[in-house]
Structure 1
Amino acid sequence: MLFDLLGDSKSAEYFSRMSLACHGPERDTGHTGNFWNITWAIPGVVRSGPHATGAWMKEFGSWYFDLARQWDGTFPHQGPPAMRGDSARNWDCTGADLLAYAMPLKKIMLTGKNPTQIPQLKPKEAQSIIIDGRGWSNNNRNAAYDQLSVDHLFQQLTSWSPVVRERAAMALARRKGINSPVPALVKMLDLPNIQARYGACRALAQLRGKAAPAVATLQKNLKHDDLWMRVHAAQTIAAIGQPAMSTLPALLTMVAKGATKEDPRAMEQRYLSFALFNARGGMLSRSLNGVDRELLYKAVKAGLKNEDGRARGSYSSIYTKLSLEELKPILPDIYRAIIEPSPSGIMFADQIQTAGLELFAKHRISEGIELTAAYAKNMKPHASEHRIKTVMTLMKSYGAHSQRAIPMLENAIDYFDNREPDFPKRLSKQKAQTVRDTIKEIKTSTKRPKLISIKSFL
């Protein structure tokens, strides 16, 4: 809906279709429950026209709204079909549901007052998208796609929907007793249909090392004009793993490129960061043996500037795999990643900061003392009542040297006790006590490990 109001018809069409397809149990499995899906689904569906709205109402909306309405005309939030409520339990959905009923009036921008720029779906098109959303439940995720023929699965790999493509890819990889699908998938990588190429990548990624014969064609697709094709190709290469290590120089060079005019937020770099450096399955997550250090350094320096917190966090996987001598060229960049939190992806912003502080403590880098004390106060609030314990353990590892940071720690105590906004008071007090206990320990510490300064590496 918002993309439509902004005039971005391509994005609006995509998300309107996703709203239409998301009518089943998936609606109930989101991170915060189904309240927001119920609120914004129908305004999104309406953008694709009356046949889309009718198909969605027939499949889900009409019976849901009827059952949700109480005797007094109000609509309480129903929550997911589970014994425990979600994060929106006890919320009132009346306004959200009436927004859906008001769609035909087209009185305000939210209900379609301005003409949409999205192509209006025909009945068969709308029903086809409804079908795309069927066949999945949280307790039976595979059965529907496992019943499809191999030919049908290949057809589903060409779908407009990334969800359909992914499920078809997973089902194809699970299928036993068939000829290797790799040759056919490699041919798909040369098709003009970009969705078919995406789907082929997802299937090859599911096949892991068995997809090794596709590496050469995948590497060719790293130069495709389409950003997401390049990302899909890189993710697939990373999933193939060891048989695809010959592509590593090209991948590291892509990461080092960073933001461009066409990709101002470096989304390509973001996804390649996961593919290469993620601790869970990243191509370089286990070993850096044989990796060209100059290419690696250039990639890490660029990646630690990515705007996304989760992307930056991926690079922490290499911190423990490099010696102090090997770390020297990137220590200033690690330092900067500690003091300059990512502007987006805040949920994951702490990962690279904490990893940097741990690295400084491990190698007894003097500047880590003040960095750790500052971070104790300024870290992201979410879950900080737990993270503060890790941070204070790092502070104590410097022994008596940490005494010079006591004024900073006392300032943090005052902040937690009296000034921390929008955080449970009980947990703020808990953090303050953790810092007090740390001060007591470092005041009596006699250990003075030998420190080094980052200045010697600049």
Structure 2
Amino acid sequence: MKNGSVCFRDMLSLLVFVLSGAWVLAAAAPVDLTQTTPAKTKNSYNLGPTGALGWMYVEAGMTVKAHQILITVVEKGSPAEGKLDVGDVILGAFGKPFAQDARKSFGWAIGRAETEEAKGILPLSVWRKGKTQTVDLKLQIMGTYSDTSPYNCPKARKILEQGCARIAKDIKKENRFPINELALMASGNPAYMGLVRESARALAAGVPETEKLWEASSHNGKHTWGFGYRNVFLTEYYLATGDKTVLPAIRAYTACIARGQGRYGTWGHGLFGPGRDGKLHGPVPPYGPVNQAGLPCFVSLVLARKCGIKDPELEPAIARANKFFGYYAGKGAIPYGEHRPGICHDDNGKTSIAAMAFALQGRRAETQFFSKMVTASYESREWGHCGNGFSYVWGPIAANCGGPKAIAAFMKELRWYHDLARRWDGAFVYIGTGGGVASSYRSVFNSTGSYMLGYAVPLKKLHITGRDANQDNWLSDADVAEAIAAERWLGDNAHANRTAEQLLAGLSSWSPLDRAWSARELGKRQDNVLPRLLPMLGSNKATDRLGAVTALGQLKARAIPALDAIAGLLDDEDRWVRVQAAEALRNIGAQARPVLHQMLRATAVKDETDPMEFRTGALAYALFYPGGSYGPRGILAGSLEGVDKGLLYPAIRAVAANPDSHARGCLRSTYALISLDDAKALAPEFLASVKEMAPANTMFSKGVRLAGIQAMARLRVEEGIPLALMMVNLRDWGRNYITMVSLNVLKEYRGAARSALPELKKLEAQWRAEKRADFLKKLAEVVAAIENDNNPPELISLKDYLGKDKGGQ
């Protein structure tokens, strides 16, 4: 489901830029809609239960600066019909102009209008054809949200009833993942169980037995997405009803999901069978893991266990997922794939789904951290990779994993948004980041069903809505207060507007977002905070050490006096402090060279507690990264001269064997610099890093492998020829680039690559069948270079160096 657009990391950076007050002065001012009509209004917003849609000024995906709303649609039969016209401009509500974000203000006005006190009247200040007038819209009286909403809240109950009634009219509408059925079950209304039963049995009847389903789903496609959500539905249905007719389908889905899991506990877009070694659970090919797809699978496996499903792959799969996703507890948000933790509270619901998976198992530490992160994420739920559709399925029910007070605080902050997303007929709409209205998220699941789950948690009919919840997992009042405070970063609360003392306090926050933004802001200023940061490095609280070392990395050259102290944290007892110390040295860059020996030693040490070995990965960037979109050049990216090879070689070996292809890719610079003697000393790892794909983050595995064969061609290493042939026809992510580079490598060998001609002839026939004119043109050049070379270069083999004693080097 990746759409190739701006990823969340870049969105977040832009959001930080805008909301911190750093937006450039040249940014366009909001349009005065009484004077100018925008050329395009497709990204209009739903205006709640009024029956109107409105366009607002958007900057960086946000409506913070919008003070007016242009009416673009008025629906027939709605409260707005006959009251509002297309082209009207709404200037305010309840007699006051919009002084801040018009969208939020309108959402809060809806909530006020729907109370008994306001009698359903929404008075709007409307500009129409040069004149301003008051227009009263008559909305349905829904009542007032209680302080504990959705618990003990008549308004929330009414929203649930109306939404489910809409779903029941067409349960299959835009509902490929059966969220609608889950919502109807969660409502507790027995009148809907006939519809749910019909859907469950029809779905189960269409699922082949395990081996047939495995054969059909383990080769290609994007089966992970549907399997996870369908299994969640069927398992919840069975647990609610005891209907054994669906058990065979649950067994089949569960077995296939468990078999198709990757080595580290993740899943890709699709399931995959045994690797070349004939074993399951290898690297996730060819794109790599997609946690948005895999996490619902994780939840479904836990629910399948509750159903009593027995399968030899089930418990190991849950254990692998627990280890991988549990790693992020205390560190940050669940990332896109096998990456470092996200510096945010949630990203399109991934942290939310993790909270649910751990809550269903009663794992207290993970549940509390992730549910606290979700509770804190209210201000950023519109942001996420590929939009925010999953965010509103899982966010409220995941906050509920932290207890009634957590979801009440979370939902209170989002009342304005939910009231805007609700239509006048009781349905809900999907609203994309920056506007745009649809009745579903990409037809994957219906938006009404998505929202209903959150309103249904007081009924506790499903495990994902709180049935049999363990109260020991619930957040304390102090935790809830801290969570809400952590995302108060708009306006006067923006980090750019905070004092140095406030920023220093933020470095000790429980929130990774607050720590990171506080550190960034301190890095932008010239305050002499070094004397305050150094003592924090020795604190017995890991959050103090994390915040301080992160801030030191942002100080860059000003942190040089602290280099030895930072390097000392590379061996800290807390594994995330170790990683952040490496990140700090990476941020300091070339000026961290005085502690180069400490960095090399730490790089060579395998961290048995960290399956992804993120410390080695961060040090790989600090030492070897060629420079580019992921940061500055590493200290040794330009030259290896003068470096103690007794320290250098073990570090290179560790990076070459790192699980993460991104980390291995840093050796692109190194392989371009090594001598033949270096290649001999490093032969086993050097060759293996090309021959074997990195097991994690496989999308980026080509970097080190291509750099390796290029180095072999430069050094006239014989093994480069068969490895280049292997790479030529490798159908991994980025195939076109891989093929072209590999062909160029073979061309560089000239006549010495004559042994490759039979295989190249086979490729010629294959590519003709595939109509790959680009490959064929390059292939002709390579064949000519080989056949016409009468003086081929002399090659050397590394096979004699594969078993050499490394002797510390």
What TM-score results when the alignment is normalised by the length of structure 1? 0.85
Shift of 1:3: 2.5
Partner of 2:358: 3
Q: Does 1:14 align with 2:369?
A: yes
The alpha carbon displacement at 1:288 in A equals: 2.8
1:275 corresponds to which residue? Answer: 622
Cα distance, 1:27–1:314 mapped onto 2, change above 3 Å: farther
Q: Which residue of 1 aligns with 2:775?
A: 435
- Superposed displacement of residue 372, structure 1: 1.7
The answer as to whether partners of 1:208 and 1:241 remain within 8 angstroms in 2 is: yes
Partner of 1:112: 466
Q: Deviations over 1:176-210 (max 9, x none)?
A: 4x3x1111100111122211111011111000111
More relative contact order, 1 or 2 (CA 8 Å, 6+ apart)? 2
Q: Where in structure 2 are the equivalents of 1:266-415 lying within 5 Å?
A: 266-280=613-627, 281=632, 282-380=634-732, 382-409=733-760, 411=762
Quote the offset at 1:70 in angstroms. 4.5
Of the structure 1 ranges 36-45 and 331-340, higher mean CA displacement relative to structure 2 is found in: 36-45
Number of residue pairs aligned between Structure 1 and Structure 2: 436
Separation (CA, whole Å) in 2 of partners of 1:306 and 1:20: 35
Query: Which one has the bigger strand percentage?
Result: 2
Go from structure 1 to structure 2 and tell me whether the alpha carbon gap of 1:295 and 1:174 turns closer, same or farther (over 3 Å shift). same
Q: Residue 384 of structure 1 aligns to which amino acid in structure 2?
A: R
- 2:520 corresponds to which residue? 170
- C-alpha spacing 1:329/1:263, structure 2 compared with 1 (3 Å): same
The answer (yes or no) to whether the contact 1:370–1:405 under 8 Å persists in 2 is yes
The one of 602, 606, 610 aligned to 1:263: 610
- Shift in CA distance, 341/65, structure 1 to aligned 2, threshold 3 Å: same
SS at match of 2:402: coil
In structure 2, C-alpha distance between the alignment counterparts of 1:341 and 1:35, rounded to whole Å: 33
CA distance 1:214–1:158, change in 2 (3 Å): same
The structural deviation recorded for 1:323 is: 2.4
Match 1:455 to one of 799, 802, 806: 799
Distance 2:680 2:539 in 1: 46
Q: Distance in 2 between matches of 1:266 and 1:294?
A: 22
Residue correspondence of structure 1 range 74-153 to structure 2 within 5 A: 74-81=427-434, 89=442, 91-94=444-447, 95-116=449-470, 119-123=473-477, 125-135=479-489, 144-153=494-503
1:71: Cα distance to partner?
Answer: 5.6
CA distance 1:310–1:63, change in 2 (3 Å): same
Q: Distance in 2 between matches of 1:336 and 1:454?
A: 12
Identical aligned residues as a percent? 31
Structure number having the greater helix percentage: 1
Could you tell me which amino acid in structure 1 is paired with residue 793 of structure 2? K
- TM-score computed with the length of structure 2 as normaliser: 0.50
Task: Give SS of 2:639's match.
Answer: coil
With 143-152 and 321-330 compared, the bigger mean Cα shift is at 321-330
Q: What residue is the counterpart of 2:74 in the other structure? A: none
Query: Retained in 1: the 8 A contact 2:671–2:711?
Result: yes
Q: Given the superposition, is the C-alpha separation of residues 220 and 397 from structure 1 closer, same or farther in structure 2, using an over 3 Å criterion?
A: closer
Task: Check conservation: 1:49, 1:120, Cα contact below 8 A.
Answer: yes
Residue 171 (structure 1) shift: 0.9
CA RMSD of aligned residues (A): 3.0
Query: Contact conserved, 2:600 with 2:648, CA < 8 A, in 1?
Result: yes
Q: Which residue of 1 aligns with 2:299?
A: none
The aligned counterpart of 2:505 is: 155
Q: CA deviation at 1:392?
A: 2.6
Residue of structure 1 equivalent to 2:244: none
- The verdict on how the C-alpha distance between 1:301 and 1:122 changes in structure 2, with shifts beyond 3 A counting, is closer
The equivalent of 1:64 in structure 2 is 417
Structure-2 residue corresponding to 1:32: 386
Q: Which residue of 1 aligns with 2:252?
A: none
Distance apart, 1:248 and its partner CA? 2.5
Alignment of 1:247-262 (within 5 A): 247-260=595-608, 262=609
